Structure formats: structure tokens, C-alpha cells
Chain A
Amino acid sequence: MNIVVCVKQTPDSAAKVSVEGGHVTWGDAPLIVNPWDEYAVEEALRQKEKHGGKVTAISMGPESAREALKTALAMGCDEAILVSDAGLKGSDSLGTARALASAVRKIGSVDLVLFGRQAIDGDTGLTAAQVAHLLGWPALTYVAAVEEIKPEAKTMRVQRMIDEGRQVVEAQLPVAMSVVKELNEPRYPSFMGIRKASKATIPTWSIADLGVEASKVGSAGALVSWSEIYAPPVHKVECEVVKGETPQETARTLVDRLIAEKVI
């Protein structure tokens, strides 16, 4: 199987995010692999271990995103490609999907592209479906279990996590899928992998390499505009201790208060 996994570099989940001059900033907080993408990398590696083949990690982002790709290599991915170009700056999820879909086409004969369910910074959760659409492939989003892949028959069956429970879906390969954390437990990079990753050469693919139109990506191609960005207002929290003579009375008072506040 020829597997591609898309990873994004995001600020650390513990970073203090704030808004300065209409832009989101996280100071000098460390950058990490988007935690959801670790599940995608893990699944890519497991499917490769099961069916053979190759796993290529790709990331679109600035030069620093190379470090996220090194993590993917250290976990066990075979190759990594950085999609980076000044013209990609300001891409919305559609622009990102155009660049990534072109990269998948350029790699060629890909059976499966994996994504985390969303990135912890932008939180749109759109890119996987948009890449699938651009490639004309089935989109299997929110995958919580891969039941079966038959590489010869070019089919796969998964369980999707939906509000009502789990939905079993079959699809024809190639497939683009996004994964949720119920899928697996990501491995830690191995020390041998870390050594290998630190020595690996990671090619950079530009807009020209990808053959995408410059007007369709970056801020030039963005269909989404952010008219206003502001930090969520701070909620004033007031504590109230519900008291009663007996536990029953306390519970009754609590229920009355919750109904009055329209909580239940």
C-alpha cells in the first residue's frame, strides 16, 4: 500500500493563545505535531506493517514545519515532503487542500491519505474532505476503527464515530480519511528513528513543483476572510453552595435551582 499521512505543525496545546492586532499569536510557545495527526501517523504505520508498502508524511507550512515531519519520520514514516512556498501563506482550508491534493497526485499511485480529525489551531476539520473532493475520492471522516483493508480488491471498511454511535462504511480505494483518537494509541518516536530523522533530507515542494495556480492558493485564493478576530470574553463565574437540612432537601433545592436556571 502506498500511504500518505498529512501532518500539521501547531502550537503546543498548553500554549497561551492571544489576539494581538487582529492576529492570533502564541508567543514563543513550542511547536508540535498537531496531536490529532499523531493518530493518523500511527494508523498509517500500522496499515503499512500489516500490508507492506510505504508511508510518506507531508506537511504544508513554513520552514519550521520540517520539525513536525522529523517527528513523523522518527515514529517510522519512510519519507517526508515539505510543501512550502511564500505564495501559500494565508491559505484557507480550500487552498491548503488544493496544495495537498496536488502533492498527493505528484506522489502518484497513492491508496490512502490520512488526516487527524482537525488541527488544534484552526479547528476547521475541513481539509480531509476537501482533499477527497479535489481528488475525486471517497472521504471517510471521523474514523474510529479500521475493520478491514483489502489492497487487492481495493476496498476498505471502517467505523465512523458519529453523534448517534458508530457507522460502518465501506469504500473503494483510494480513500482520504480523517481519524479520531479512539482509533489507536500513537507510539513514541524510537531513538533509532530520531537518529534517522535528524539525518534525513526532506525535499521542499513549491507551488511551481506542485503545478497549482498561484491565484488559487494563499491569501490570493482564499474564499474565507476573517473579518474580525478576538479573544473569547472572560466569563464571570459565581459559586453558590446549595444547602439543606438533609441530603434529600439539598438535592431538591439543587434541582429547583437547575430548573430555574434552565440547565435541566
Chain B
Amino acid sequence: MDFELSSEHLLLQKTVRDFAQREIGPYVKQADRRGEMPAEVLPRMAAQGLLGLCIPAAYGGQDLDYISLGLACEELENVDTSLRVVMSVHVALNSLALLQWASEDQRRRFLVPQARGQKIAAFGLTEPGAGSDAARVASTARRSGDDYLLTGEKTWISLATKADHVLWFARTNPEASDPHQGLSAFLLETDRPGVTRGDLEGKLGVRAGSTGWLHCDEVRVPEINRIGQEGEGFTIAMTCLDNGRYTVAAGAAGLIRACLAASVRYAHERQAFGREIAQHQLIQEKIARMSQQYEIARLLYLRAGWLKNQGRRNTRESSLAKWYATEAAFEAAHQALQVHGAYGYSDEFDVERFFRNARGAMIYEGTSEIHTLIQAGYALGLREDGALRRELPAHRVS
């Protein structure tokens, strides 16, 4: 067992940290206040290679491993959640799904431009009437000659109005007795006729990010755009979540670290009752808890990343890491705000933004309730993972 990060990982960590703090950090507060993603974020992330971070070089990526993906997410969310969301959606939920499930031809056609950052990718599973109950997807894909006609609406889609490609889940067999069996996955180009989209307003957090809806009205897509087999959509969606949840967990660790750093700094600055508040035990208790939460979150996500590198199934571990880290991040942000007192309640300090940003992650990529059920299922022996037709390729560090 080796708990050391390699020099490659350390160099990557410092590079992404410097990039996020210097290139994006200065704009985050304004972007959050304005409620829009700065136009330069995606081009800069693309230029740095982040959008193809752990995709093999053969498909236009940077060929780094899954632990690097986690480390990058931790550093990005340490600056702002909106940056990590880009990685979750573009890299984990979409590009890794193409790596796992798409044919060689499809990888060349769709994955290569995504990994190079020339095309932005999103993930279209959630619908107005289908959230935790993902099998309830009502969007349809009807055969029309050699093509499919996609109709339906997706909502709460990160990068909805920025994306060129959306991994779109739709029902190909409305007659299937088990609703899980009737779904299929499609790579939808958003410039196809019949696609409309818009941004969602009034979000509690991640306001520097882009979240929206997409609507398809009889959008014609050729068969080459279907990812995996017909009826395989639900299985594909669940493997996407194994990757997405991993990035959310790693990002949440970065958010806890940000809460801890802000609290430590403020605790040494602020005086109360004749000494700095760091000397008061009830403040120390909060700081101690945050460092504990950070270490647990970090170890949990790194283990999931290690399993991914080995090519081993990690549904259980990624779910556990995501469940723990996002709840811990919200608790850390809540306590960081308390350490800052009234100042923490104002956007003059970052912890107010951390608090709002932390909340959403307990809902997306599996609510805390869904993860509770998943973990109970594994512990009670009610749930086990069967073999998949195609596995996510391993990344063994040479």
C-alpha cells in the first residue's frame, strides 16, 4: 500500500492549482454575482488540456490516469464548483462513456474533438418528470428508416447552452415490460434542426456555471449516433454516473479544503474576548472536524480512482465517496460560515458562495437518499454488480 502521490501527480496538482487560482480565481466572485459563466472559461480549460485529461492520446486526450482526473477536480472545485462541473459533465459523464461504450468509428468521430476541447459535451438524462427515478425517462427515439427521431425534454443539464454534443437518453421501446430495458443512448449534436435550449435562472448555487434545458422536436439522428445497443441505455447511464460521482466526490474534497483554509485564515485574524478566535475551543472543534472531513473525503475518492486505474468496478466506492464528501462539504461550508460570523453571511467572503455551491451536490449525481439506499443494498447483500458488456479501460501507470 502506497499513500504517496507520484511526482507526475504532484506536478499535475500544482499545475491545475496554479491554473485555477490565477486564470479563473480572479473572476469567480463577479461571475457568481452576475450569474453567468465567463466566456473565457471553456476555451482556457480546453487550451490547458483539461477537457481531455484522462482520455487516451489515441483519441486526442492527454493520456493521464483517473487519479489525475480526481486531483484536477479537487483543485478546480477548490476555486469554484462551476469549474469542476465542467469536468464532471464534459469528461466524466460524456467522454468517458464514449471511451467505454462507443465503437471505434464513433470514438474517432465524437470523442476526438471532445478530448481536444473543440467540441463541448453534456449529459442529458434528467427530465422534468425523471430525476432519481431515471428509468422513468419519457423522451422517445422512434425509428424512421435508417434514422431515429428524438422527441422530448431534458432539464437541469449542465452546459446545456454551451454544448455541441449531448449524450441523450431516450426510450426506444415503450412496450418493454421493464422500463429499464427500453432506453437507449444517443450522441446528439445540438446544431441539428429541431433542437431548442435555454438557461435556467434562479439557482441557489453554482451561479458561475451554466445549467439549462434542451428540447427535441422530431430531431433526426442517424444510427451511427446511437451509443451502445438498443435497450442498453439505462446500463450506460449508470456507468456514466460511476464516473460522474467520482468527480463530484473529488471536487467536494476540494470544497472542504477551501472551507478549512478560509476558516483557519479567519480564525487567526479575528479577535474576540481578547484573543484570536482560533484560541477558542468551539472554533477549534469546527476546524478539527473540517480537517477530518477533508482527509476522509480525499482517501475515499482516491481509492475509487485507484480502482478505476486498475479497471475494477467501483460503483460502490464511487457512490460512498460521493455521498460522504458532498454531505461533509455542506457541513464544512455551514461551519465555515459560522466561523466567519456575520461576515460569512455576506458575499464579501467566499464561504457564502461555498455554502450555496455545496448544497446542489447533495441532489445531483444521485441524491443523498439514493446513495443511502445503494450503500444499504451492498451492505445487506441485496445488491451486487454484474459483469458489463464493455468495461471502462484501465489505466495502469507504467
CB nearest to B19 among chain A residues:
A188
Residues of B contacting A189 in the complex (Cβ-Cβ under 8 angstroms): 11, 15
Contact A188 B63 (CB under 8 A): no
A198 touches B6 (CB 8 A): yes
Is the CB–CB distance between A195 and B15 below 8 Å? Answer: no
Check B15–A198 contact: CB distance below 8 A. no
Instruction: Out of B14, B18, B62, name the residue touching A192 (CB < 8 Å).
Output: B62
Q: Smallest distance from the beta carbon of B67 to chain A beta carbons, Å? A: 13
Report B1-34 CB contacts with A as 1/0, cut-off 8 Å: 0000011101110110011000000000000000
Complex Cα gap A187–B53 (Å): 18
From A190, A191, A198, give the contact of B7 (CB < 8 A): A198
Closest to A194 in B: B11
How would you classify the secondary structure of chain A's contact residues: helix, strand, loop or mixed?
helix
Question: For B14, what are the chain A residues with a Cβ–Cβ distance below 8 Å?
Answer: 32, 71
* Contact digits for A108-120, partner B, Cβ 8 Å, 1 yes 0 no: 0000000000000
Cβ contact within 8 Å between B11 and A71: yes
Closest chain B residue to A66 by CB distance? B7
Residues of A with C-beta under 8 A to B7? 67, 70, 198
Kindly report which residue of chain B lies nearest to residue A197, judged by CB atoms.
B11
Residue of A nearest to B8 (CB): A198
Neighbouring B residues of A199 by C-beta, 8 Å:
398
Give min CB distance, A62 to chain B, whole Å: 15
Which of B10, B48, B63 is the one whose CB lies under 8 Å from A195? B63
Once bound together, how far apart are the Cα atoms of A32 and B13, in whole Å?
Answer: 13
Question: What CA separation (Å) do A25 and B259 show in the bound complex?
Answer: 28
* B49 contacts A191, C-beta separation under 8 Å: yes
Give the CA-CA distance A182 to B225 in the complex, in Å: 50
Contact A70 B18 (CB under 8 A): no
Q: Is the CB of A194 within 8 A of B18?
A: no
Q: Look across to chain B and name the residue whose beta carbon is closest to the beta carbon of A67.
A: B7
Q: Which of B225-275 contact A (CB under 8 A)?
A: none
* Nearest CB of chain B from residue A66's CB, rounded to whole Å: 8
A198 and B7 alpha carbons, distance in the complex (Å):
7
Chain A residue nearest to B53 (CB atoms) is A191
Bound: A197/B48 CA distance, A:
17
Closest to A186 in B: B18
**8 Å CB contact of B48 from A67, A188, A198:** A188
Contacts of A190 in B (CB 8 A): 48-49
The answer to whether the Cβ of B64 comes within 8 Å of any Cβ in the partner chain is yes
Say how far A68's CB is from chain B's closest CB, in angstroms.
11
Instruction: Give the distance to chain B from A158, nearest Cβ to Cβ, in Å.
Output: 26
> Are B48 and A194 interface neighbours, CB within 8 A?
no
**Residues of chain B lying within 8 A (CB to CB) of residue A197:** 8, 11
Complex CA gap A188/B44 in Å reads: 12
Interface residues of A in 51-104 (CB under 8 A from B): 67, 70-71, 74
Whole-angstrom distance between the Cβ of A115 and the nearest chain B Cβ = 21
Interface of B is mostly: helix
Distance from A41 Cβ to chain B, minimum over Cβ atoms (Å): 14
Kindly list chain A residues whose C-beta atoms are within 8 Å of the C-beta of B64. Answer: 191, 194-195
A191 and B19 contact, CB distance less than 8 A = no
Q: B25-82: which residues lie under 8 A (CB-CB) from chain A? A: 48-49, 53, 57, 62-64, 68
Q: Is the CB of A192 within 8 A of B15?
A: no
Taking a contact as CB atoms under 8 Å apart, the answer to whether A194 and B19 are in contact is: no
Are A198 and B49 in touch, CB under 8 angstroms? no
Min CB distance, B225 to chain A, in Å?
A: 29
B62 touches A70 (CB 8 A): no
In the complex, the answer to whether B18 meets A191 with C-beta atoms within 8 Å is no
Residues of B within 8 A of A74 (CB): 11, 15
Q: How far is the CA of A32 from the CA of B48 in the complex (A)?
A: 20
- Could you tell me the distance in whole angstroms from the C-beta of B55 to the nearest C-beta in chain A? 11
Q: Are B62 and A198 in contact (CB under 8 A)?
A: no
Tell me, in angstroms, the Cα distance from A192 to B64 when the chains sit together. 8
* Set A70, A71, A192: member contacting B49, Cβ < 8 A: A192
Measured CB to CB, the closest approach of chain B to A27, in angstroms, equals 16
A188 and B23 alpha carbons, distance in the complex (Å): 11
Q: Which residues of A contact B49 (CB under 8 A)?
A: 190-192
Contact B19 A198 (CB under 8 A): no
Q: Which A176-196 residues have a C-beta within 8 angstroms of B?
A: 188-192, 194-195
- In the complex, which residue of chain B has the Cβ closest to the Cβ of A75? B15
Q: How far is the CA of A25 from the CA of B64 in the complex (A)?
A: 35
CA distance A198 to B10 in the complex (A): 10
The residues of B that contact A32 with a CB separation of less than 8 Å are 14
Q: How far is the CA of A67 from the CA of B9 in the complex (A)?
A: 12
Question: How far is A191 from B6 in the complex, measured between Cα atoms in Å?
Answer: 14
Chain A proximity of B36: nearest CB distance (Å):
25
- Cα distance A188–B18 when bound, in Å? 8
Return the 5 tightest CB-CB contacts between A and B, nearest first: A198-B8, A191-B62, A191-B49, A189-B15, A194-B11
A contact set with B: CB distance below 8 Å: 32, 67, 70-71, 74, 188-192, 194-195, 197-199
17 A-B pairs (CB sep. < 8 Å): A71-B11, A74-B15, A188-B15, A188-B18, A190-B48, A191-B48, A191-B53, A191-B68, A192-B63, A194-B11, A194-B12, A194-B64, A195-B8, A195-B62, A195-B63, A195-B64, A197-B8
6 more CB-based (< 8 A) A-B contacts, given A70-B7, A192-B57, A194-B11: A70-B11, A189-B11, A191-B12, A191-B68, A192-B62, A194-B15
